[in-house]
Amino acid sequence: MKNNRFKLTALAGSLLLASGALHAQSDEARAIAERLVDEHFQNSTLSREEQIEELLWFAKVAEPFRDMEINTVAEGLTTHVWERDVLAPAFEELTGIQVTHNIIGEGDVVDNMQTQMQTGRNIYDAYVNDSDAIGTHIRYGTTINLSEAMENEWADYTLPTLDLDDFIGLQYGTGPDGNIYQLPDQQFANLYWFRYDWFQREDLQEQFREIYGYDLGVPTNWTAYEDIAEFFTEHVGEIDGEQVYGHMDYGRRDPSLGWRFHDSWLSMAGMGSPGVPFGNPVDDWGIRVDEESRPVGASVSRGGATNSPASVFAVTKMVEWLDKYAPPEAQGMTFGEAGPVPAQGNIAQQIFWYTAFTADMTDPGLPVTDDEGNPKWRMAPSPTGPYWEEGMKVGYQDVGSWTFFDSTPEDRRTAAWLFAQFAVSKSVSLEKLMAGLTPIRESDIFSDQMTELAPKLGGLVEFYRSPNESNWTPSSTNVPDYPRMAPLWWQNLAPAVSGEITPQEALDNLAGELDNIMSRLARANVFESYPPMLNEERDPEEWLSQEGSPKAKLDDEMPQGTTVPYDEMMEEWMAAGTRQ
């Protein structure tokens, strides 16, 4: 009896020690959470206590993975650098999981992802991969179905406050089956950029009206964009002693030239089908699918539109504007080299401008900001081409999204899932937005902090608050193998940009190669779902004479130019946004 009492006393002592250790651990976690909120994450749509509770959830569920080291990867955007420098150390301190958040080139991200999918060798434990690859992820059977994982193996590791309904780009990482395969981490759009201060000058307004017969303003069609490009390049020529240009672009034979085209340039001209987000049955690459989401062709002869009259018009205008209205050096530039040029102060407008450059445009020392740091420029909706019709997507949106593969060991994959959720949680997402200006949550976009920042950001906040924002979308589920097919764009269209072949010849080559790859993939039987099943080739006129895309050549591809005053347009957008 005495011995039993001793054992019970020892057990009680052990339990007391364990309880004390847990309390101490809990107190330590709370202290860390409080300090992280106060030092790094003061801006949030959550209250301070709600943030602390959310961070404590991460500390608690991460216990089985403490002292683990994981590797994640993303491309070199300001947002991802902030994740590496701020979020990864904060997550390690909170959870004990050491994250190496690698920053590499976008092409390298895609190459590593493709290698991991093909070989089954784990290279990274999670990827921030553009949702442009959604068509790849839904077909190969190697990408983790997040919807299923959150209900099963990740049921205990999914943040209760993740709030999927709050994400603005979730639909782009969702398959035709309704399942989520990619979770948005950052998002930016391709918009129209222009020098608001120049457009407001009465002398320039009067001169433009005399020459073109209508008002200088935000162009709503490609004719007006061309008129404005010509006006500043040939008629204005010089402002404040510096030569100015009415257009900016880039044309070097480089992988980034592919982005210039397949990031919805053809659909901006009106090549595809109505239907948001991607166009159905013909998407913004010109790839047609059947009713079962199987790709049936890119060539007009198979019902696609990659080499259709609308596409030829789009490429022709790109080449013509680059040659006539952009700085001569632009033809030898890549995406990265051309991006900072408008900030130098001699560009009047750019039809194809990524909002990822917004942060770089707001430095008070730049020629495009005033003494108080306010922008002399604005961003606005992109003008659409003559083939565009109501109900079509208007432009492109890049949505870098967390993506996981079954080749990653389950424990490492789960730890990476925790970090991914931390990187998009409401506790940190507003601070991340303010650092990188790449929003993913509606609650952040409508926050008081973004309302205060709006005047400094030249229309970014107004754009994302408008319900029209959803008309800017990424590449579609129609693209069956993005890593293999994306390089075909720059390889085939570069000769057209340099003038070696015509746009029609370049697009015929591109459409043919897209079809060839889809045909080979179908024969190889590599897809678990939605495999290509190409239509037999027919006389292109049979398809062009039917309703819808591919569309027959218009008699007048350059109708009267139309513009709208920027302030009037933004008032309408803001009114629409506040009604949400």
pLDDT on residue 162 = 98
Q: Give pLDDT tens digits for 315-352.
A: 999 999 999 999 999 999 999 899 999 999 999 999 99
Quickly state the pLDDT bin for 572 (edges 50, 70, 90): confident
Quickly state the pLDDT bin for 18 (edges 50, 70, 90): very low
Q: Do strands 183-194 and 98-104 pair parallel, antiparallel, or not at all (unpaired)?
A: unpaired
Percent of the residues in the chain that have a pLDDT greater than 90, as a whole number: 90
Quickly state the pLDDT bin for 153 (edges 50, 70, 90): very high
Percent of the residues in the chain that have a pLDDT greater than 70, as a whole number: 95
Quickly state the pLDDT bin for 577 (edges 50, 70, 90): low
* pLDDT at residue 574 tops 90: no
* Pairwise CA distance, residues 283 & 463, whole Å: 23
* pLDDT at residue 575 tops 90: no
pLDDT on residue 448 = 97
pLDDT on residue 21 = 44
Quickly state the pLDDT bin for 573 (edges 50, 70, 90): confident
- Determine the average pLDDT of the residues in 268-293: 96
Quickly state the pLDDT bin for 23 (edges 50, 70, 90): low
Predicted TM-score (pTM) of this structure: 0.92
* Pairwise CA distance, residues 354 & 216, whole Å: 23
Contact 350, 357 (CB under 8 A): no
List the single range of 204-218, 297-311, 352-366 with lowest mean pLDDT. Answer: 352-366
Instruction: Report residue 562 as tokens.
Output: 């139309």
* Pairwise CA distance, residues 140 & 33, whole Å: 40
* pLDDT at residue 6 tops 80: no
pLDDT on residue 1 = 46
pLDDT on residue 467 = 86
pLDDT on residue 576 = 60
Q: Which among 146, 143, 145 is positioned nearest to 158, based on CA atoms? A: 146
Q: What is the DSSP letter of 383?
A: P
Q: Give pLDDT tens digits for 444-482.
A: 999 999 999 999 999 999 999 998 899 999 999 999 999
pLDDT on residue 388 = 97
Q: Give pLDDT tens digits for 522-554.
A: 999 999 999 999 999 999 999 999 999 999 999
Quickly state the pLDDT bin for 24 (edges 50, 70, 90): low
* pLDDT at residue 263 tops 50: yes
pLDDT on residue 248 = 98
Q: Give pLDDT tens digits for 219-238.
A: 999 999 999 999 999 999 99
Who contacts 103 (Cβ-Cβ below 8 Å, separation ≥6)? 73, 74, 75, 76, 80, 81, 84
Alpha-carbon torsion (408, 413, 417, 419), positive or negative: negative
Long-range contacts of 84-87 (CB under 8 A, 24+ apart): 86/40, 86/431, 86/435, 87/419, 87/422, 87/423, 87/428, 87/432
Number of H helices, E strands in the chain: 24, 13
* Pairwise CA distance, residues 330 & 346, whole Å: 13
Instruction: Report residue 198 as tokens.
Output: 């120049």
pLDDT on residue 16 = 40
- Find which of 7-11, 25-29, 196-200, 367-371 is predicted with most confidence, using mean pLDDT: 196-200
Who contacts 537 (Cβ-Cβ below 8 Å, separation ≥6)? 299, 301, 302
Give the 3-state secondary structure of 138-169.
Answer: HHHCCECCHHHHHHCCCHHHCCCCCCHHHECC
* Pairwise CA distance, residues 523 & 532, whole Å: 9
Quickly state the pLDDT bin for 13 (edges 50, 70, 90): very low
Q: Give pLDDT tens digits for 397-411.
A: 999 999 999 999 999
pLDDT on residue 372 = 84
* pLDDT at residue 43 tops 90: yes
- Cα dihedral 365/367/372/377 (nearest 10): -130
Instruction: Report residue 432 as tokens.
Output: 């991340």
pLDDT on residue 2 = 39
Cβ count near 504 (within 10 Å): 15
Cβ count near 556 (within 10 Å): 8
Enumerate the H helices of 466-565 as residue ranges.
Answer: 482-485, 487-497, 503-524, 540-544
* Pairwise CA distance, residues 474 & 272, whole Å: 14
* Pairwise CA distance, residues 515 & 263, whole Å: 19
* pLDDT at residue 19 tops 60: no
